Structure 1
Amino acid sequence: MEIINTKVATLSNFEVMNHLQNVKEGKKRNKGQLATITYETLRYLESTPCKHQTPESIENCLKALKHYNLTKNEKLMLINTPPITPLEIQLMVEESEERLTEEQVEEILQIITEHFPHVRKIEAEVEEEVEGT
């Protein structure tokens, strides 16, 4: 088998979770390794931010991020692991210090929290931990 275009099949965690849930609920019961892999992967994905995402929230977030000249992989990382600090954006966006201003980083964080409200709860928990130490 030959891979012609490696970038065609990039899926978000939400899309993978959705597909695996459909496989799990399918009429045919999977046996053996496929059932185990499906179960374990779903169990992991349900503990990540994608559990709270919707197709609409992802689509709207991507539209809002369109103006920041981010690559597909950078957008995918922002969707899969929504950042809550500027440092996380620096880790996800290649050469972010040259490509993005501080204001743009703050705008991206605002877009993420606007489209993924569950991120606000995580952010509040992190702030409580920082204040408690």
Structure 2
Amino acid sequence: MKILAANAGALTNFEVLDFLRSRGAGRDPTRVIFPIAPSEFKVYDYLEQTAACNQTRQVIGEFLEKCKSVNLAKAEILNIINIRPSSLVELYPIIEEYDTRFGEAAETMEEFVETVVKLLPPPPNQMQSEEETATDQKEAADGERMETAE
């Protein structure tokens, strides 16, 4: 990989994680084989616990296409990709002057949040809790007795 222009723009967490993987951060369990700084390993370890580890270039591309219908700044889109808000309450602090820009279009923003949840994959810890919830709901629907701790 060759850097064509330094400081060409901000990167998403996915792009940083992809870069660290390309340098060998994910393939070096001993952390001594590849020439990667300890701070880069710390960043890699952190990003592996965020939604960035489940994202792909195709997913982000699809999301960027959907963002064209909503008037958002590049920095706001970048933060949405990195944070992956799953409710309007989480989206509110990301968007500058939300009330003046989207106050009357609350329904549009609710649809946008649904798009975010649908397109961008959740972080690994949230995926596990969603799977456990779905399993619990299936067991309850099958008529099995649920035990409660008293």
| TM-score normalised over the length of structure 2 | 0.68
Whole-Å Cα distance in 1 between the matches of residues 111 and 74 of structure 2? 19
Q: CA deviation at 1:108?
A: 1.1
Larger CA Rg, structure 1 vs 2? 2
Whole-Å Cα distance in 2 between the matches of residues 111 and 7 of structure 1? 30
Higher helix share: 1
Q: 1:16-31 to 2 correspondence within 5 Å?
A: 16-24=16-24, 29-30=34-35
Aligned equivalent of 1:60, options 59, 62, 65: 62
Q: CA deviation at 1:125?
A: 4.8
Q: 1:81-100 to 2 correspondence within 5 Å?
A: 81-100=83-102
1:106 aligns with 2:110: yes
Q: Is the 8 A contact 2:51 2:121 kept in 1?
A: no
**What amino acid is aligned across from residue 34 of structure 2 in structure 1?**
R
CA change 1:124–1:46 in 2 (3 A) is closer
Unaligned ranges ≥5, structure 2: 1-5, 28-32, 134-150
Q: 1:41-60 to 2 correspondence within 5 Å?
A: 41-60=43-62
- How many residue pairs end up in the alignment? 118
Q: CA deviation at 1:123?
A: 8.8
Identity %: 27
Equivalent residue, structure 1, for 2:136? none
What root-mean-square deviation, in Å, do the aligned CA atoms of Structure 1 and Structure 2 show? 2.9
Q: CA deviation at 1:66?
A: 0.8
| TM-score normalised over the length of structure 1 | 0.77
Whole-Å Cα distance in 2 between the matches of residues 24 and 52 of structure 1? 18
**What amino acid is aligned across from residue 102 of structure 1 in structure 2?**
A
